[in-house]
Amino acid sequence: MKLIIIQCFCFLFFYAQGQITKPEVTEVWEPEPRVVSVDTKTGIPSDAIILFDGTDLSHWQNKNGKEEAKWKIEGDHMTVVAGTGDIKTKEVFGSCQLHIEWRTPKEVIGESQGRGNSGVFFQEKYEVQILDNYENRTYSNGQAGSIYKQHLPLVNACQPPGVWQSYDIIFQEPIFNEDGHKVASGYITVLHNGVVIQNHAELYGTTEYIGLPKNIKHEDGSIMLQDHGNPVSYRNIWLREM
Ligand code: MG
């Protein structure tokens, strides 16, 4: 940071003087970004934490933090077992990049919020909605890809029920000071099946089902997946800390 400030100062000084004559003056060499390679088969970056690869639920536990995750594993994916509760990662995270693939049931049952409902929560507080919104109308700020009750998705990029879909999400956590006041908002960017549906959307606080967002100081938290009573499936979940 100190180096960048000095370089900015030099840049402004020379700019003001109109005396920049050498290209090196505006070059930045330190620090050098570290190398991250991507597995060409899986698309997973070398520094990713793999949270679920179809093998087991060892990274997950029940929302209450006391019991095992009880969702069902079949083949390369896991599926919500209605009534067993939300599941969350044992590890906690701050700002991160998350890749997650999800599938709503092929057999269409219910409508609006009752059809293929689940959700991915950051720090257990901020939900990006998962819902079957293929030809299924619901309130716009509660449809798939919404930041629940805060930001509707820019477009509806849903695939039909029974088709695997992906979210690539960049989560920037909110910052609180020692007195507990929020001094910087969190932000969320979402690509749904490769389509930008949330572009650096500001988090107004927690995503509440009833009532307004809350801003109570908190630490890092788990990634949480919602049991909303519908058998939504998940596979290939990985995360990069930022
Ligand atoms: Mg939900």
pLDDT digits (tens, 9 = 90+) for 197-230: 999 999 999 999 999 999 999 999 999 999 999 9
Same domain, 21 and 46: no
pTM: 0.91
Tell me: the pLDDT tens digits for 122-161? 999 999 999 999 999 999 999 999 999 999 999 999 999 9
Question: Closest by alpha carbon to 86, among 102, 112, 100, 67?
Answer: 67
Range of the domain at 10: 1-33
Same domain, 81 and 25: no
Residue 14 scores a pLDDT above 80: no
Same domain, 29 and 43: no
Same domain, 105 and 172: yes
How confident is residue 9, by pLDDT bands cut at 50, 70 and 90? low
Tell me: the pLDDT tens digits for 17-50? 578 999 999 999 999 999 999 999 999 999 999 9
Token pair, residue 177, equals 């000071």
Same domain, 165 and 207: yes
CA of 35 to the centre of ligand 1 (A): 36
CA distance 234 to 149: 23
CA distance 171 to 121: 10
CA of 226 to the centre of ligand 1 (A): 6
Residue 8 scores a pLDDT above 80: no
The enclosing H or E element of 3 equals helix 2-17
DSSP-assigned letter for residue 45: B
Same domain, 119 and 160: yes
Token pair, residue 198, equals 């949330």
CA of 139 to the centre of ligand 1 (A): 12
CA of 76 to the centre of ligand 1 (A): 23
- Residue 212 belongs to domain with CATH number: 2.60.120.560
Tell me: the pLDDT tens digits for 81-111? 999 999 999 999 999 999 999 999 999 999 9
3-state class of 36 per DSSP? coil
CA distance 158 to 170: 19
Ramachandran quadrant class, 229 (left: phi over 0; alpha: psi -120 to 50; beta: rest): left
Same domain, 151 and 67: yes
Domain count, the chain: 2
Same domain, 2 and 80: no
Same domain, 12 and 83: no
Q: Say how many C-beta atoms besides its own lie within 10 A of residue 160's C-beta.
A: 12
Residue 2 scores a pLDDT above 80: no
AA letter at 28: V
Question: Closest by alpha carbon to 204, among 196, 192, 193, 212?
Answer: 212
CA of 220 to the centre of ligand 1 (A): 21
Same domain, 98 and 14: no
CA of 5 to the centre of ligand 1 (A): 44
Using the Cα atoms of residue 199, residue 185, residue 223 and residue 144 in order, give the sign of their dihedral. Answer: negative
